Structure 1
Amino acid sequence: MLFNPFKSVIGLDIGDETVKAVRLDLHRLSFKKIKTELVSYAEERLPDGSMFEGEIVKPEEVLHAVKEVSARTACKHKIPWVVCALPETKTFIKLLSIPVKQEMLSLNTIYEVAKKELPIPFNESYLDWQLMPHISNQSETKILLGAVLKKTADAYTYLLNIAGLTPLALEVEAMSITRTSLPPNSSGTHLILDIGQTSTTFIMYSNQTIQFTLSFEFSGNLLTERIQRALSCTEDEAERIKILCGMDFENCICHKQGQTKVCNIKEVMEKSMDELASYVQKGISFFSEHFSEAAEVDSIILSGGSGQMLFFDKELSKRAGKPVVRGNPLARIRTNTTLAKESSRPYMRFNTAIGLGLRGLHSPLGI
């Protein structure tokens, strides 16, 4: 940190529908005190079919969007340094226990364990891992293993290079989401739910590290589609109703097709919330059944733009039987003077990009 040469970094989140970027700057206030500042953010919608489940389908369209958001966030400065998220659907991350002492751990042993655990082909993957000495013991060593398909990582690296950017790191998305959802080295056991446009990422955090992740199809777009069908309205109207009403059924007023009336979205929203709660319960059960040191979940942390709907936290808490809180991606950073004056602050949608930027400024060469 003391000699970190990267004073400005772009966090880049390439999704199936949009490309998001933030610029974070590092300011040293004194020998021991620093300030991390959110300087700018940008979002560009991708043409339909440009990406599919994390794969680059139309490189020229994605390249244009990456260049656009990186130029807007750089604010006329040349900032080549970028940390980019790898798609959750093409990556794997899990805490593993290896039955050997840490000093006896070899590369071959890690590879043998990885071959058994990976849901993606070993020979077609890049691996990285981190020793977890604070939870290892004399009889076993714990590591946090991450993997990504080679063709995915190579495609992202090539895209960034063509865009004139220099990747400091490609990071599993769950790491950046966790970084903006919890303080460093947080104690306790927490479930992070990142509800995005096309999917939800389930991140189980315990013993100061990620234990495992899951991805399922519940998403903001799914809610919009269900509201659209239930109310026979346009997609834009359904999206607006979802944002304005959320789970506030009694005060939900629809403005559609030139008419104003009470919205009847209670049934579709409650059914969707029951579905999400079921996913949550299954994930928690998997944790308790398959992890020997599993502890009771202390809280559920909502991340992502779609998790910020009105009363969403209260309704999920009621169904899951756990405290539910909203994550704050700005907890570790400040906004500059210009952004602080904005009335609309869509920062929850940029939680992944902010987490990537924090990685670049505070741990550019490691997790």
Structure 2
Amino acid sequence: MKKRLTPSNTLVAIDIGTTKICVLVAKKIDQHNCEVIGIGRAVSHGLARGVVVDVAPAVHAIKAALQEAELMAGCSIESAYIGISGSHISAHQSTGMVPIKQGVIREHDVARVVSAARAIPLPEDEQILHAVPQQFIIDGKHLVNDPLNMHGVRLECKAHIITGNVTLVKNLIMCCQAAGVKARDVILEPIASAEAVLSEDEQELGIGILDIGGGTSDFAIYQRGSIRHTKIFPIAGNLFTNDIALCLRTTRDDAERIKKEYGATILSKEPHDISIKTIDNSDSRLVSTSELSFILNARGDELLRALNKEIIDHNLAATMPAGLVITGGGALLEGFIQQAQKTIGLPTRLGNPRTTLAFKQELSHPLYATGYGLLLYALKQETLSHRVDGATFPLNRIFWKMKSWIAEVF
């Protein structure tokens, strides 16, 4: 009989992607570390570009990943933190302002100004997923990270507001519930990936992260320890695979195989021939790796040009002095990091999750950046929610007390 998980000392994260479902089960070691005790993976079905398009196969895939994770962990899974992405995700910059009545800024003043920053006009079908304070301004002059107990008569808050389509997010949560697991919260996947692959120094100095998944490529910028910009691009791994299948007239399965085995946007070796199946799966033929590289380079160039346009249009280069980190399965294409550095013109590196505990060799892989990052983000938030010492992270305690997205729509 499987042992039930104890919410107080365990965390579960589910990365529901277009091409794969990944479930990670972890045991808390202390307030800053957790140890992964179970991993479950399954091929994703019923999703396209990060959103559910067919409920039954999506539920079946989630169940398969959950069962594998439960078997390895020796526990039953009842609730989890869910990663979310998709082209329906959008971001807004907002400013809130409130007067300080007593002359000294208290917790309720900070809560009020953050609520004021959240008060933005939204279409009926959108809901706020995250409201991330970027900086506070006292009396229109003094920029501070934590205004608690400071003197002033007016407090402003600049916040990064991330929204999503209510129906599409509900569909994802309903699929998890149908698979037998309750969603504890939904977390934007670029925020999770950043937790796993970026250092504190990089987040403070200013850096961009591009997570290339199967259905979408998620871009975010961090500076001064907070998220500054987000953008979801509908150009990702599945389009690379589709291009190979279309141009080389082969099956999607074989296109995925040769992408993983021989895929390169810039060749580092002499071209050679590889065998691929015909589209009717009845025969095989030879194609050159140079032809494969040409196909992948073109799609990679499209993604990088879209990213570069976003950086230029919003004057973001100055917020990325530490460069760009690329993670996710799409980052594994040979030569893509060099192609990105040439196109963007900034230092670029591959982002591997920074794990030092169990399953290090397996989890230290770009494919697990989002899943492992979800665990780290959840650990941080749960630690903050249980703090009772008002002198330690008081500001974050205020944000945690606010209603979660799940509570608002269910």
Q: TM-score, normalised by structure 2?
A: 0.73
Distance 1:51 1:89 in 2: 13
One-letter amino acid of the structure 1 residue matched with residue 216 of structure 2? S
SS at match of 1:89: coil
8 A Cα contact 1:201 1:215, kept in partner: yes
8 A Cα contact 1:125 1:149, kept in partner: yes
Equivalent runs, 1:241-320 vs 2, <5 Å: 241-243=258-260, 244-249=262-267, 250-253=269-272, 254-257=274-277, 262-265=288-291, 266-288=293-315, 295-320=319-344
SS at match of 2:315: helix
Which ranges of structure 1 fall in alignment gaps of 5 or more residues? none
Compared CA separation, residues 107 and 67, structure 1 to 2 (3 A): same
1:87 deviates by: 2.8
Compared CA separation, residues 124 and 220, structure 1 to 2 (3 A): closer
1:21 aligned residue:
23
One-letter amino acid of the structure 2 residue matched with residue 264 of structure 1? S
Structure 1, residues 236-291: CA drift from partner, whole Å, max 9, x if none?
333233222413523454233556664233432332333233112211112317x9
Distance 1:130 1:287 in 2: 19
Distance 1:235 1:131 in 2: 43
8 A Cα contact 1:36 1:332, kept in partner: no
SS at match of 2:196: helix
2:197 aligned residue:
181
1:358 aligned residue:
376
Distance 1:7 1:251 in 2: 52
Measured on the aligned residues, the alpha-carbon RMSD in Å equals 3.2
Distance 1:166 1:146 in 2: 22
8 A Cα contact 2:96 2:114, kept in partner: no
Compared CA separation, residues 362 and 81, structure 1 to 2 (3 A): farther
1:61 aligned residue:
57
2:158 aligned residue:
142
Which ranges of structure 2 fall in alignment gaps of 5 or more residues? 1-5, 100-104, 141-155, 278-283, 386-399, 405-410
Distance 1:236 1:68 in 2: 21
1:63 deviates by: 1.9
Identity, in percent, stands at: 19
One-letter amino acid of the structure 2 residue matched with residue 316 of structure 1? A
8 A Cα contact 1:6 1:360, kept in partner: no
Compared CA separation, residues 162 and 219, structure 1 to 2 (3 A): closer
2:366 aligned residue:
348
1:208 aligns with 2:192: no
Q: Specify the structure having the higher radius of gyration (Cα).
A: 2
Distance 1:295 1:179 in 2: 18
1:72 aligns with 2:68: yes
Distance 1:325 1:98 in 2: 36
1:235 aligned residue:
252
Q: TM-score, normalised by structure 1?
A: 0.80
8 A Cα contact 2:49 2:234, kept in partner: no
SS at match of 1:233: coil
Kindly indicate whether structure 1 or structure 2 has the higher relative contact order, using CA contacts under 8 Å at least 6 residues apart.
1
1:304 deviates by: 0.7
1:129 aligns with 2:147: no
1:326 deviates by: 0.8
SS at match of 1:144: strand
One-letter amino acid of the structure 2 residue matched with residue 222 of structure 1? L
